[in-house]
Amino acid sequence: MVLDDLDVEVQRSGRAAVIVIGEEQALPVGAAGRVFAYEWLLRMIHGLAAWLVAHPLPLDEVSFPYPPPLHAADYELVFAPRYTFDAPASRRAPAEWLALPVRRDETALRTFLVDAPASATTLYRRDRALSLRVREHLRAPCRSTAPLWRSRSAFLSPRTLHRLEEEGTSFRAIKDGLRRDLAIDWLSKTTRPLGRIGADLGFADAAAFYRAFAAWTGSGPRDYRRRSGR
């Protein structure tokens, strides 16, 4: 089921589990088959892992070692809200994934294999649209330059919060993921002062922003901006 040309490794980096896909043999650059190979392998690994633990496993971020394909706009719905191209192939998810127990038995496996390979590539996205709506609701005030960040959790009912948990995420996880993504974008693409970024993202002070950003990326915001050339 797995191409011999691709090698898969799972690494742990702080609070993230990282699935790294490398090429044992270089696949043809620019070929549609190269895009399909990476997409197929990720869908299979992700779908199988979610099935084994009987729980949705939403990805935080994905990157692919090829230019954006024509269907790049679908990646947010299919893989993760944050995705990049022309970068080393990897997928980031919460490290808690690695501690989840296997909940399937031999009988379930036999049933599962009846519909293979389709069953192995079906991602657990049941209420994925809900997570995207919550993320978009949080992001709306951040599109301007005004410091309008708020937790905005009041609009979520207990039922909605429960549905997010069923999907394998939470309001806090979505908010922290969006904070991280906005911080990275503002640091690498703008000259907005560090203090302004931290305040706009709702941090109490510069120290709190520094600690959070270092936990997300492994480096401080100033060092990250310097490496990005800003």
pLDDT 10s digits, 23-52: 877 766 666 678 888 888 888 888 888 888
Write down the pTM of the prediction: 0.57
Contact 128, 167 (CB under 8 A): yes
Do 214 and 182 lie in a common domain? yes
Do 88 and 150 lie in a common domain? no
**Average pLDDT of every residue of the chain:** 78
Question: Cα–Cα distance between 118 and 120 in angstroms, integer?
Answer: 5
Question: Cα–Cα distance between 226 and 205 in angstroms, integer?
Answer: 21
Q: Which of 213, 206, 212, 208 is nearest to 228 (CA)?
A: 213
Q: Which two tokens stand for residue 57?
A: 């496993």
pLDDT tens readout for residues 167-217: 666 777 778 878 888 888 899 888 989 999 998 888 889 999 999 988 888
Beta strands 82-85; 61-64: pairing state: parallel
Domain with 218 in it: what CATH number?
Answer: 1.10.10.60
Contact 62, 42 (CB under 8 A): yes
Do 135 and 171 lie in a common domain? yes
Domain assignment of residue 1, yes or no: no
Do 32 and 105 lie in a common domain? yes
Which residue range forms the structural domain that includes residue 212? 128-228
Give the residue from 85, 103, 121 where a domain finishes.
121
Do 73 and 26 lie in a common domain? yes
Do 30 and 56 lie in a common domain? yes
Give yes or no for residue 4 having a pLDDT over 70.
Answer: yes
Do 12 and 97 lie in a common domain? yes
Do 14 and 60 lie in a common domain? yes
In the chain, the number of structural domains is 2
Question: The sheet that has 61-64: what strands, in order across it?
Answer: 6-13, 16-23, 90-94, 61-64, 82-85
pLDDT of residue 147: 41
* 7 strand-pairing partners: 22
Do 222 and 141 lie in a common domain? yes
Question: Cα–Cα distance between 126 and 168 in angstroms, integer?
Answer: 10
pLDDT tens readout for residues 136-174: 777 765 544 434 344 445 456 777 777 676 666 677 777
Domain assignment of residue 150, yes or no: yes
pLDDT of residue 149: 45
Do 12 and 68 lie in a common domain? yes
Share of the chain above pLDDT 70, in %: 78
Question: Cα–Cα distance between 60 and 181 in angstroms, integer?
Answer: 10
Domain assignment of residue 67, yes or no: yes
pLDDT of residue 3: 65
Do 185 and 84 lie in a common domain? no
pLDDT tens readout for residues 73-94: 888 878 887 889 998 888 888 8
pLDDT of residue 76: 81
